[in-house]
Amino acid sequence: MNRLLPVVLALSLPPLAQAAPSPIRVLFLGSEATGGRQHCHTVMRDFGREALWFDYTADPSQVTPEWLSKFDAVLLDAPADGFPALAGLDKSKVVTTDFSGSDRNPAPDAFLNPLLEKLVAAAGPQRKADREAWLKALEPEERSPDRNVANYERRPEPLTFQHPMSVKASLERTQTAPDLRIELFASEPDIAKPIALAWDLRGRCWVAETSDYPHGVTPTGEGHDRIKICEDTDGDGKADKFTVFADHLNIPTSLTFANGGIIVAQPPRFLFLKDTDGDDKADVKQDIITGWGIGDTHAQASNLHYGIDNWFYGCVGYSSFDGTVGGERKRFTQGTYRFKPDGSALEFLHQFTNNSWGQSANAAGDQFGGTANGAPIFYGGIPATHVPDGLRVMTAKKINTEDMVHTITPNYRQVDVFGGYTAAAGSNFIESAKLPPRLQGQAMVCEPTMKVITLMDVKPEGAGMTAGDGFNLVASTDEWMSPVFADVGPDGAVWFADWQNFIIQHNPTPSQRSGGYDAKTGPGGAHENDLRDHSRGRIYRVVWDQTKQPAAVLKLDPADPAQLTAALNSDVQERRLSAQRELVERKMTSAAEGLKKLVLANDGAIGALHALWTLQGLNALDEATFNAALYARDARLRRNAVRALPADAAGQRLYFGSGIMTDPDPVTRLAALVKLAEFPTTPEIQTLVKKLSVDPLNRQDEWLHEATRMLSRKHKAEAFKEGPNLLPNPGFEITGADGLPEGWARRDYNQSPGTEGAEWTTTDLPGWTHSGAKSVRCITKGMADTSLHADVDLKPNTDYRLSAWIKTNNLRGGKISLNDHLIRAETEKVTRNADWTFVETTYNSGTATKGSINLLHVARGDSHFDDVKFCELVPETETETVSAGDAKRGEDIFWKHPVAACVNCHMLGGKGSPVGPALDGIASRRDEAYLTESLADPNARLAETYTATPVSPMPPMRLILKPQEFEDVKAFLMSLK
């Protein structure tokens, strides 16, 4: 079959309303089958400086006549019949092209030049003239050679230095969608180096400025940086009043409002700053948490936010945290955390993979974040606080499906991850009725090296999340345009901070080999470069052309609980959270009844989630409100209800009475399993955990599977037994002719001196065996990457456990661990000198039929391995002998079971709870088969008269009760005639 050639079709539509000197706009219609996103990526990058701007979609539902009218042409890289709205196009304007050979960077002229001519011609003579006039009218771009422009990419000719541009020139070169526009709010000299924004109750923008970055870091925190209030006093959408709230700060990376003031992340400490006399200048300054690393100024703590659960959140890179909070020593790195605003508590939550500069939550309070390099957005499904010591559990996972960044200029400078994310910042979500519906729920990631704000289309995927490629919100060819922060402001527009710097790359330091010249590493870990700017900066707003501008801002009155309660249903997430924070911090218990009404309404409104947590923060959540939330139609509300449950006896009763551990919404079910880790271990919980662990749905979903692994260890409720050890000579008692343990072979991963000099032997030295007479030892005098391995056969889609005991001595750097080399599952890592330490990992083979088990020594020093096991995990079978049900025992369970007492939800003889239907005479209305199914799978047998909630409030009794108990309860119900 011949390949379908992409087609360019001029639209037979009226000229654009804004027809005037401007770039030609092209709608690129693609599909995964044709590689459309990659093809669009190419033309966006190579035509952006030529005044051709592209928007991409593969979704036919988005291609309406109204949307088409906003473009000058369509580039079709998909079957035309997939986009019905194209039917009315003028066929005489059809232009074909072929993307073969276009995947180079840049694409060859033989591809670009003919396509450029065809696109311009397709747009028509008027738009051709408009484009030419626009190019002619542009403020000139000034460039000059400069040795400080590193050529990391090894281009044939290094890029020249682009001199800074005016706001007008920069905006002329900056693209957003045709129904959006970018408006300036503030710029130099009124502001300088904006790194983070926040908004007060009046809607005023507060900006953290840092000219000290990257080299001016001081341990004392005294510097030249400021927090500034930017205010629009005349309502024209631009700031005209600037007030310095606090100065002499040192690299403040973030700020958030709390307790009538602000919390500022300024490593090595978090500061609380407050104005007490009403002059908009801080006169209170207190340290609240100390211990944040300052070794590298682009890896510090940042991204502070108030969370829906009334904690404060943030992230930290590899500069890490090492300090004492609430009398407890804390150490963590590269991930997200939450803390109390008085500094009394700090919890590390989600572990990422590299330097981190992103923390956010969607409207439901689900946790996200991101790293700078190659993994711009993570979903945090399981808090690290719930994971037992010694167990390795996935607490966060990279979820973006596209690693490319869709720049509109080839003139970008990156030291690694070329064309991808290397300086990603932020992951805030768009929640605003004042922006187009297609943007709702998308996360924004700034990538200043590529001059873009990208969009991540976040959707649930099982109990986890996935982030599809949403292309760009903002993209620029101005090489000084550097978005570093983006969020929805109180007016419903997207606000972003333009760092305005030609030099973004922090490290590594350029050298002749990498960059083309030798530079010097300065304080703060950044390379010294005279081209770094310390005075410029801009704040912009991205607004929708369907919204009157400037949009009205809901000004929150801290003395009006009714207004604050109503604001919990604002279409802007920032206003909702600000209102919630005020209600909680000011202890407005007078609002409790109004808050309960929002939860009890069961109408799916977002305000119910905030009302629930506001009540929790006010210690005013009662059982009726909790039950209403746990049984709500809205899965988001059910999810937050289970998260808000206390771990005490009352919370456990509500939990087990709700059946939420089998919620039909997988993300809510995950939240329920996480909550189960907070409860104290009881025999009933152990029974439940074992049965949840073997549930097919929980085993097949990676997040639910991880949660049940955590629960099994937490509650000592192992649902699986280990099959035979599949490894040869696992105690290393038999030594082969080569001096290595029989059945094991050496495998090296590089040819460094440390690796080549590594010595693997069996040893029987006293104290260096865990059991038996021998262990295996690796000793290296230099940094090495070496292993012993044994290959094994696997069954597809089968769970396996890999474990061993490890002892180390004189270890310097690196790690000692085990892994399956083919599947990439790895145990916990031993990274310092340690006596015998047990490590393990449990994983599913997926489609694999072979495994290769490594004893890994990626370090310098001495390591010993012993008692290695690799076993299939087989579900434990029930051993209890079940007799006929005993109605008397069943009656005791009905009234008294600590977890599954039916009386918690049902009435019988006028006693109990009316959550579910009354059970008087149930056996005269229903047969045994019906009752059996109702007990085993309540959602399959909702009572016909029960319409209060879309899910059964009753937990599946087979999960909670032992087999004999199940039969006894059923016998009791069968006696109710």
**Residues with Cβ < 8 Å from 758, sequence gap 6 or more?**
748, 778, 779, 780, 784, 786, 857
Residue 543 host element (H or E): strand 538-544
Q: Flag whether pLDDT at 305 surpasses 90.
A: yes
Ranges assigned E (strand) in 781-876: 786-793, 799-820, 825-826, 834-844, 850-875
The alpha carbon of 684 is separated from its chain's Cα centroid by a whole number of angstroms, namely: 34
pLDDT at res. 895: 84
Whether 843 and 890 have beta carbons less than 8 Å apart is answered as: no
Q: What is the pLDDT of residues 858-871, one digit of tens each?
A: 999 999 999 999 99
Q: What is the pLDDT of residues 482-505, one digit of tens each?
A: 999 999 999 999 999 999 999 998
The strand pairing partners of 511, in sequence order, are 515
Rounded CA gap, 617 and 591, in Å? 12
pTM: predicted TM-score of the whole model, two decimal places: 0.89
What is each CA distance from 252 to 223, 227, 302, 609, in whole angstroms?
A: 10, 8, 9, 32
Instruction: Spell 535-564 as b/e; 16+ CB within 10 A means b.
Output: ebbbbbbbbbeebeebbebbebebeebeeb
Q: What is the pLDDT of residues 817-847, one digit of tens each?
A: 999 999 888 998 998 899 999 998 888 888 8
Q: What is the pLDDT of residues 15-56, one digit of tens each?
A: 444 458 999 999 999 998 888 999 999 999 999 999 999 999
Q: Flag whether pLDDT at 362 surpasses 70.
A: yes
Task: Specify whether the backbone of 259 is left (phi greater than 0), alpha (psi in -120 to 50) or beta.
Answer: left
Rounded CA gap, 852 and 802, in Å? 11
Q: What is the DSSP string of 100-116?
A: TT--SSSPPHHHHHHHH
SS3 at position 335: strand
Domains of the chain, earliest start first: 7-139 (no CATH), 170-511+522-544 (2.120.10.30), 561-663 (1.25.10), 724-875 (2.60.120.260), 887-974 (1.10.760.10)
pLDDT at res. 940: 65
pLDDT at res. 2: 37
Rounded CA gap, 253 and 227, in Å? 10
Rounded CA gap, 855 and 776, in Å? 10
CB neighbour class for 253 (10 Å; exposed up to 12, middle 13-18, buried from 19): buried
Structure tokens, 899? 């977890």
Tell me which residue of 861, 867, 852, 837 sits closest to 776, measured CA to CA. Answer: 867
Rounded CA gap, 966 and 678, in Å? 26
Which amino acid is it at 16? Answer: L
Structure tokens, 757? 């000099």
pLDDT at res. 918: 83
CB atoms inside a 10 Å sphere around CB 280: 14
The sign of the dihedral angle between the CA atoms of 542, 544, 550, 554 is negative
**Residues with Cβ < 8 Å from 853, sequence gap 6 or more?**
727, 789, 790, 791, 792, 802, 818, 819, 820, 821, 868, 870
261 vs 924, higher pLDDT: 261
Rounded CA gap, 785 and 804, in Å? 19
